[in-house]
Amino acid sequence: MPDVSAARGLRSTAILALGTFAVGTDAFVVAGFLPAMAATLGVSPATAGQSVTVFALSYAVLAPMLSTVAARVPRRRLLVTALLVLAAANLGSALAPSLPILLATRVLAAAGAAGYTPNAGAVGAALVRPEQRGRALAVVIGGLTVATALGVPLGTLLNQITDWRTVLIAVAVLCLVVAAGVRLVMPRLPGSPRTPLRQRLAVLRRPAVLTVLPLTTLGMASCYTVYAYSVPALQAAGSPVRWAGLMLFLYGAGAVAGNLCAGYAVDRWGSVKLLTAAYALMAVVLAAGGWLAAAGAQVPVVVAVIALGWGAASWAQTPAQQHRLIAAAPAEAPLVVSLNSSGIYLGIALGTAVGGATFASGFPAMYLTGAAGAIVALVFLLASDARTRRVAA
């Protein structure tokens, strides 16, 4: 562990959290201006939604690869480089004249995000005393959930004032500011010994891990079937156009609350009970959104409740799934948590693709498809838990 003071270590984790906030804003902000971006590029919203799919899928594939290739790179240099790549990618996205060029820049953005987020968590834990590591991890990763509460609504507001290209330029500037902060504040940390990718992925052959990991992808796919298209989807359910930023803020507030409360709930009641409640809630709120969209109802207060519950159910999954994976492979905890992150982004890519495929059928069909996915995730959870109990017995 580096010889740094406790105060400096915690200050560094705050800078790292600002970086994960930038990454989260970059990943999720597109949902706030997808219709405007589609109109500018001359494509349908469903087609423009491919930018979310491409980013998420690229992240899922690149995260374990980059962790292997860049293992020996000193941590400060790696984090600064990743942020510079993310800044360049966002600037490229802002200037993209067509969808193919935009998609190429989103792949580059995914590479920067995949190089930053997993390593930021590991570095944050290394910079503090052992008794502070849980707090440091919560601060660093908390930047992602705060981005859903603040970054996306702010991006939506900026889009209403200016345009979506200016929003992406602002994200690029934020990445540059954080890169400078990391370079100035963070102490030097060496890289790690390089472990072959095949050896890293050997943990996937363990039955206990294989029982848990697919649920991450299923659960995230369920909530992201609608999320990439959340602005028009919430309007279809009865939210006024002027409330778009507020609704996304409520989703984000639910996500932050769900993520924080899930940690306490897992300790008290266990991961399976928490996940059961989360998937049941997700199915109910998405089905309610589908019913409102089909009925043509105009009850914004109900839509606000749906947005809160949707966000809480979506992000309550992560702590519980991480807890289950670490219990399944305690000796490889950092690796399985990284694989869980890949599973999250794979689910985002899958859900966005499914949402795009149902776009032409209308928003009631999109909502109900997401609700059906939540039910499938719930059935998978209960069946896999029953199987695990039988094997243990």
Predicted confidence (pLDDT) per residue in 195-247, tens digit: 666 766 677 778 878 888 899 999 999 999 998 888 899 999 999 888 888 88
**Cα separation of 149 and 311, whole Å?**
9
Structure confidence by residue, pLDDT tens digits, 332-375: 666 677 788 888 889 988 998 899 899 889 999 999 999 999 99
State the average pLDDT over residues 281-293.
96
Do the Cβ atoms of 186 and 15 come closer than 8 Å?
yes
pTM higher than 0.85 for the full model? no
Range in 169-178, 228-237, 322-331 the model is least confident about: 322-331
Per the CATH hierarchy, to which homologous superfamily does domain 1-194 belong?
MFS general substrate transporter like domains (1.20.1250.20)
Chain centre to alpha carbon of residue 210: 21
State the average pLDDT over residues 163-167.
90
Tokens found for residue 372? 């059906």
Annotated domain spans of the chain: 1-194, 195-393
Q: What is the pLDDT of residue 193?
A: 62
What single-letter amino acid sits at 105? T
Structure confidence by residue, pLDDT tens digits, 235-267: 999 998 888 888 888 998 898 888 878 877 887
**Do 1-194 and 195-393 show the same overall fold?**
yes
Range in 49-63, 70-84, 133-147, 158-172 the model is least confident about: 133-147
Under CATH, what is the fold of the domain 195-393? Growth Hormone; Chain: A; (1.20.1250)
Do the Cβ atoms of 196 and 68 come closer than 8 Å?
yes
Range in 18-27, 114-123, 237-246, 281-290 the model is least confident about: 114-123
**Cα separation of 160 and 1, whole Å?**
47
State the average pLDDT over residues 31-42.
86
- Our separate counts of H helices and E strands in the chain read 18, 0
